[in-house]
Structure 1
């Protein structure tokens, strides 16, 4: 991982030990906040992992640098690169999640059908989704974790990650299906939402045509 994610992980560990009564050293994102996502699953390669967006999927710890150009706090004169995590926004009324980027918009969706196996992907611009696919609702729960709020008997659904993502790293799926798309070695994890104090609007790769 690059410095940005390693620093966040170190800060979380240090502040948690220094402030034992605090539930989290990072504030829970509220309406309108920009946030990043960190994977938490102790004793696994994805603990304190960077959640990234590349080629239509969410992945963890991909070695590819995909966020080549970013602006900080909306200032086009303040440009950076090499950011190895994706940033997101959540519409609390609709439960939709967008990647924080320039136009065209990039919006998450899931496929819980038998064919989809809980696939988590994103569309580009006005690209439609299939009849069995859903753009939400997602939510950030009281513990500050992003979940898919399926409702009914399913309740809130978390996530799992499977090694072997295209380009390296771990591909993210919804929990609940063993070996999605035949993937081996999958592990469930907590998707921690971390408010960004200096939001970075980056360029991302779209799903292959």
Structure 2
């Protein structure tokens, strides 16, 4: 009898540990710009029209339960920066570090083609909760859509894409415990 109880317990334990488990939810976060004594200090990153922006008045995203907010929510998976959505196709952030792209940052939806020199992999959040692409930070340029600041990869260019008045900033991630699922607009 004792042997049967031990065997039964062993069987139950092994079947419980062998049961398939769902993958853990990704660590989701919003991004805030840190640049002291500047107009973008504490600005939140938004996503719209296949680009990333600071101080964008309206993202016009389609969110679950109409809970749209002024900033975008992200997660990093396999070194890819992904806009958070609990359903549908993924929207992934790319950069173009070529001479032609000059560090442009944008996103694609689903299996859409990347720009010729676009890169998806290389994103990481460091120990201080700052976001980087292959150890390179971000820069924002004013006078974009609706008075917002367009985000670029900081390749050391003071005027990427012919823009003026650009400011480098630290991209601080802010963990979001209950993210809102959204699909962001495309060009």
TM-score strictly above 0.5: yes
- TM superposition outliers: structure 1 runs of 4+ over 3 Å: none
1:64 aligns with 2:48: no
Give the number of the structure whose alpha-carbon radius of gyration is greater. 2
Match of 1:200 in 2: 180
TM-score by length of 1: 0.73
| 8 Å CA contact retained: 1:64, 1:168 | no
SS where residue 167 of structure 1 aligns? helix
1:65/1:58 CA distance change after superposition, 3 Å = closer
User: What 5-or-longer segments of structure 1 have no aligned partner?
Assistant: 1-29, 72-78, 150-155
Identify the match of residue 152 of structure 2 among 173, 180, 191: 173
How much has 1:204 moved relative to structure 2?
1.3
How much has 1:82 moved relative to structure 2?
4.0
Identify the match of residue 35 of structure 1 among 29, 33, 36: 29
Counterparts of 1:61-100 in structure 2 under 5 Å?
A: 61-67=55-61, 69-71=62-64, 79-91=65-77, 94-100=78-84
How much has 1:70 moved relative to structure 2?
2.8
Distance in structure 2 (CA, Å) of the matches to 1:172 and 1:89: 18
Deviation string 1:132-162 (CA, Å, 9 cap, x unpaired) is: 211021000111100001xxxxxx1000000
SS where residue 75 of structure 2 aligns? strand
Distance in structure 1 (CA, Å) of the matches to 2:36 and 2:60: 26
Task: Name the structure where strand makes up a greater proportion of residues.
Answer: 1
| 8 Å CA contact retained: 2:82, 2:93 | yes
Distance in structure 1 (CA, Å) of the matches to 2:44 and 2:82: 17
Distance in structure 2 (CA, Å) of the matches to 1:114 and 1:103: 34
SS where residue 49 of structure 1 aligns? coil
User: What 5-or-longer segments of structure 2 have no aligned partner?
Assistant: 1-23
1:47 aligns with 2:61: no
How much has 1:166 moved relative to structure 2?
2.0
